[in-house]
Amino acid sequence: MALVLTGPWSNETQREEQIKLYVCWGTFQVPGAREHPCREAYRALEQAGFEPEVVKTHSFGALPMALQTPSRKHVAENTGSPWVPALETDDGEWISGSGEIVDWASSQTA
């Protein structure tokens, strides 16, 4: 959740954004690997001024749906795929994929 503070000295209005970023096991970099997609999405949201609630889905997206965790099933119900990262915005919109989340985050900055 990111809170943009404003006051009488600003002509902006106060708004609070609540977003959830669904990731695999975390937002860490995997040693010796390319930039991890969940980390890319998280860093883009941070750079855009958001502090997303991070939901760890665990498991692996390629497993059969019957073996997926409840949080991966929730992602699949809303995006059509159990793969993460996935973003649930404050208005209920779902964005799936690190590139798409990075694009969304960069479009949210002033």
- Tens of pLDDT, residues 30-60: 777 678 899 999 999 999 999 999 999 998 8
Q: Please, which pLDDT band fits residue 17 given cuts at 50, 70 and 90?
A: low
Lowest mean pLDDT among 4-8, 47-51, 68-72: 4-8
Give the tokens for residue 79.
């995006």
Our count of domains for the chain comes to: 1
Neighbours of 69 (CB within 10 A): 15
Whether residue 1 is contained in a domain is answered as no
φ/ψ region of 85 (left if φ > 0, alpha if ψ in -120 to 50, else beta) reads beta
Whether residue 5 is contained in a domain is answered as no
Whether residue 7 is contained in a domain is answered as no
- Angstrom distance (rounded) from CA 35 to CA 67: 27
CATH code at 65? 3.40.30.10
Domain of 46? 19-108
Whether residue 73 is contained in a domain is answered as yes
Burial of 23 (0-12, 13-18, 19+ CB in 10 A): buried
Whether residue 79 is contained in a domain is answered as yes
Whether residue 6 is contained in a domain is answered as no
Mean pLDDT calculated for residue range 74-89: 96
Whether residue 4 is contained in a domain is answered as no
